[in-house]
Amino acid sequence: MTKTRLEKIADLDEQIANIRKRQQKERQKYNKAERTARTRRLCSRHGLLEKMMPEIIPITDEQFQAFLEKAVANNYGRDILNKIIAQHPAAAAPQAARIAARADTPPATKPAETEQENGEGEDEGEGNGARVNG
């Protein structure tokens, strides 16, 4: 038996809904992978800093931020970083591509709902990354 036009439209609407669900799941997987990579990066880099300078361990977050601003986040620190990146441009390329892709990607619809549905939120390493104590 042939389908009526309304039935064909309903089937297409269902297919569209299924594709949107799959798209949302893929976005969630991508976002989770990005958060995991960021958390790993923050932990390993901060661990390396603590290994090289164990005297920063007992300082407060505010003191740590002041240290970074004075020691690293200045023109001299940026010049050094730019020279390091220029020496190894291939290593910096994947991160730059991810940043560019994130800027071009439209935000997922209703992000607050998707985070609540999955039980995922800010407590998964999405802070400012400057936590020192505890």
As given in the structure block, the two tokens for residue 112 are: 């607050």
Query: Which residue's entry shows tokens 């940043």?
Result: 99
Q: List, as one string, the DSSP characters of 2-59.
A: PPPHHHHHHHHHHHHHHHHHHHHHHHHHHHHHHHHHHHHHHHHHHHHHHHH-GGGTTS
pLDDT surpasses 60 at 113: no
- Gap between the Cα atoms of 86 and 88, Å rounded: 6
As given in the structure block, the two tokens for residue 29 are: 């997987």
- Gap between the Cα atoms of 59 and 34, Å rounded: 29
> Which tens digits make up the pLDDT trace of 21-30?
999 999 999 9
Backbone angle region of 74, left / alpha / beta, with phi > 0 → left and psi within -120 to 50 → alpha? beta
* Range ranked top by mean pLDDT from 26-30, 93-97, 107-111, 122-126: 26-30
pLDDT surpasses 60 at 105: no
CB atoms under 10 Å from CB of 133, counted, come to 9
3-state secondary structure of 133: coil
More confident residue, 119 or 7: 7
pLDDT score, position 21: 98
Mean pLDDT computed over 78-86: 92
pLDDT surpasses 90 at 7: yes
pLDDT score, position 14: 98
pLDDT score, position 115: 41
> Global pTM?
0.56
Question: What average pLDDT does the structure give for the chain?
Answer: 79
More confident residue, 115 or 61: 61
